[in-house]
Structure 1
Amino acid sequence: MNGITLTLRALHHGERSLAKELSTTAERHRTEHEFHHVAKDLVLWSNDHCRRVAEAGRHYGLDLDGPSKKSAPGLVSTLREKSAQAVGHRPEPGLLLLSDLRSLHLDAAGNSLYWEMLAQAAQAARDDRLKELASFCHPRTLRQMRWTNTLIKTLAPQILTSL
């Protein structure tokens, strides 16, 4: 196993983890409609990144499974929806949202660093497949970070001064 395969594994794990956190957070903040819908869209990006990393990994002998499968609707889904509605009517959801945004931002930042490392390794190895992968996925990860950062800048003053 070399550094490129380790980086591909880390990226696959990081994007999968970010997709899961985005999905969970979107459900938790279902009453924040704009947040909820954008987060759901960003889940699709991270799932796409997982798929692309898995495809590239096959070239290096890695067997990375695709994006995590979404659980079927049921009791857990219903409980999440009801808890999101309940949380949406209490004064603390703003703090929870800020905390979740911070966590999402840090997860995306970690992925961004791995994308940069992969791009540099691809350049050194003259691997066009990996260069193309990083060139496609890294800008979207940077947009995920800008989205969380913008929301934090927008929401923090109001939430933190109204406690």
Structure 2
Amino acid sequence: MDRVKTVVVAGNPKPNSRTLDAGVRLAGLLGADAPEVLDVTTLGPGLLGWGDPAVQHAVERVAGADLAVFASPTFKATYTGLLKLFLEQFATGEGLRGVVAVPLMLGAGPAHALVPELLLKPVLVELGATCPAPGLYQLDKSYDTDSAASDYVRRWGPVLTASMRAR
């Protein structure tokens, strides 16, 4: 397979967050040596309307990816409003067509472990992404030391790779 274009989309309101780091780490485990990074908070007020050139460019970068990791902290038992504002910029059913997406969320405890699967993944699919594997939830205090991401890649990496080849 040719070089995989991987983008990490971090929807944390705090720039250079643990969420962003977790997304980059996961992309690396999935084989991306230099994933493109989109820290959504840098798009600022352009997300509040339509037609902002920087937002449009970001949408095009993500839509052109082979693999996209969508990372968010858990806020109020779901993904952030910031990530929602960005995702609303994509056309329904086709905006992420051809992109294999991985929903990744960080949280304080195990109570919200199903949030990436139940809330973020359906939105990505609605936008046309292929999500052949479950979402990944990691504890924000241990994401960089536990084995959750490497265990996920060991189990689901071949499925993600096969999905990208099938596109």
**Structure number with larger C-alpha Rg:** 1
Q: What TM-score, normalized by structure 2, do the two folds share?
A: 0.26
Structure with greater proportional strand content? 2
Structure with greater proportional helix content? 1
Q: What TM-score, normalized by structure 1, do the two folds share?
A: 0.26
